[in-house]
Amino acid sequence: MQGSLEEALAIALRCDRKLVTLVVAGRTDAGVHALHQVCHVDIPEGVKLGNLESLQKRVQGTLRTDDIALHQISLAPEGFEARFSALSREYEYRIDDRSSKRNPLHHLFTYRSPYALDDAAMNTLSRKLRGLHDWAAFCRPKPGATTIRTLTHFEWTRDADGILTGSVIADAFCHSMVRSLVGSAVAVGRGKLSATEVLRLRDKGERTSAWTTMPAKGLTLISVEYPSDDQLAQRATDTRAKRGPTSD
C-alpha cells in the first residue's frame, strides 16, 4: 500500500517520486488488511496542493485499483505525526473453525482452522494477558527496539455464523505481535497449552516456538485513535521518550 500511494501522490502532485515518503500509523505485513489506515506526508517545498478534494480524486484515479480506498486528504494539525501521535491501534483476527458456518465470500480475510476451538478458554487467556508487559515472547526480535507495550483489550466473540473474531487493542504493537497473540490463544483453544503456560512463557521474556504465529490473511487493522489536536505534539514526544528512537 505505502509504495503505491507514494507513487500516486508523486504523480498527482507532479513532483519527484523520491521526495514523497509516507509515514503510516501502523505497519502491516504482506497479506494483512486495513479498514482504517492513517498516514502523513511532508509536502516538498514549492509543490502546490490546490483543492484537497480534487487532489484526493486525482490520487485515487492514479491508483487504478479497488484494493485501496482513499477516504480523505486533509492538512495535518500542528504537531501531528501519524505513528507517534497515536494513542492506540485496534486489530481484528477472524477464524472459521469447525464450529462455524463457512462463507466462501469471506475467505480472503478469514483464516480457516481445521480444529474446533474453545472460545471460553481463549477468552480466559486473553483477559489474563492484558496490561503493561514485556512482549518479547510474542515478537520477532529487532536490535535496539523495545518490546514493552500496554495491551488494553483482547477478547473473542462469535457471530451468528459462529465465526470467531479476536479484537486486540494496544498503545502499539511489536512486529508480528498480534498474530502471535492470536496463535497463543488458538493453542489454548485447541488444548495444546494452558493459560498458565502461556503466561509463564510471556513472563520469561524470550521468543518462543510454543505456539504458531498465525497467517496474515485473517488480520485486519480496524482503527487508530488519536488525542485532541492540542495534545498531538505532546503525545508524539511522550511516545518517543518511552519507546526510544529505534523502537518499533
Query: How many CA atoms does the CB half-sphere of 12 hold within 13 Å?
Result: 25
Q: What CATH number has the domain spanning 88-224?
A: 3.30.70.660
- Which pLDDT tens digit goes with each residue over 139-165? 987 777 789 999 999 999 999 999 999
Percent of the chain with pLDDT over 90: 83
Q: Report which of 67, 70, 62 is spatially closest to residue 41, judged by C-alpha positions.
A: 70
With 0-12 / 13-18 / 19 or more C-beta atoms within 10 angstroms meaning exposed / middle / buried, residue 82 is buried
In order, the DSSP letters of 82-96 are TTTT--EEEEEEEEE
- Among residues 29, 159, 161, 238, the one annotated as catalytic is 29
- Which pLDDT tens digit goes with each residue over 193-243? 999 999 999 999 999 999 999 999 999 999 999 999 999 999 999 888 765
| Residue 96 bears catalytic tag | no
Q: Tell me what pLDDT residue 240 has.
A: 81
Helix axes 195-204, 177-190, angle to 10 degrees: 150
Question: Domain residue spans in the chain?
Answer: 2-83, 88-224
Q: Tell me what pLDDT residue 245 has.
A: 35
Confidence of residue 247 (pLDDT cuts 50, 70, 90): very low
The chain-wide mean pLDDT, for the chain, equals: 92
Q: Is the pLDDT of residue 186 over 90?
A: yes
- Which pLDDT tens digit goes with each residue over 28-73? 778 899 999 999 999 988 999 999 999 999 999 999 888 899 999 9
Coil, helix or strand for 150? strand
In order of 2, 7, 176, the CA distances from 26 in angstroms are 11, 19, 12
Residue 221, amino acid: L
